Amino acid sequence: MAVPEISVEELAGRLNEGGFLLDVRQPDEFVEAHVPGALLVPLDEVPVRAGELPPDQEILVICRSGARSHRAAEYLIAQHGLSAVNIAGGTLAWIESGRDIVVGSGPT
């Protein structure tokens, strides 16, 4: 299944427009550094927590480098019919681009 993918530059624009960002990394990775506004739902919890995601909004899915988020986006599209997009390069690419990060467990 083809999963749409965008760059961190495109992600920044979509977040400025109110985009919904789902981070599928583990809690310790999330606390270390995450994109402002991200909601943490570890990959292994996505199947049981998919109902918490907005059904009428594009879900921007991020992980460390893009592999786990690709799997999560593929699952959300195939199993729940949601509009999901993978973030190429993940959080590492976001950090390398020099954009702001959040350290700690809060979503912002």
The pLDDT of residue 106 is: 62
Closest CA to 62 of 102, 16, 30: 30
The residue-averaged pLDDT of 16-30 equals: 97
Both structure tokens of 97: 């681009």
pLDDT of residue 8: 98
Query: Superfamily for 5-96?
Result: Rhodanese-like domain (3.40.250.10)
The pTM of the full predicted model, rounded to 2 decimals, is 0.95
Chain centroid, CA 18 distance in Å: 14
Cα–Cα distance measured from residue 30 to residue 88, given in angstroms and rounded to the nearest whole number: 17
Catalytic residues: 63
Spatial distance between the Cα atoms of 27 and 19, rounded to a whole number of angstroms: 22
pLDDT tens for each residue of 24-46: 999 999 999 999 999 999 999 99
Q: Kindly indicate the confidence band of residue 89, based on its pLDDT and cuts at 50, 70 and 90.
A: very high
- Indicate if the pLDDT at residue 73 is higher than 70: yes
Domain residues of the chain, as ranges?
A: 5-96
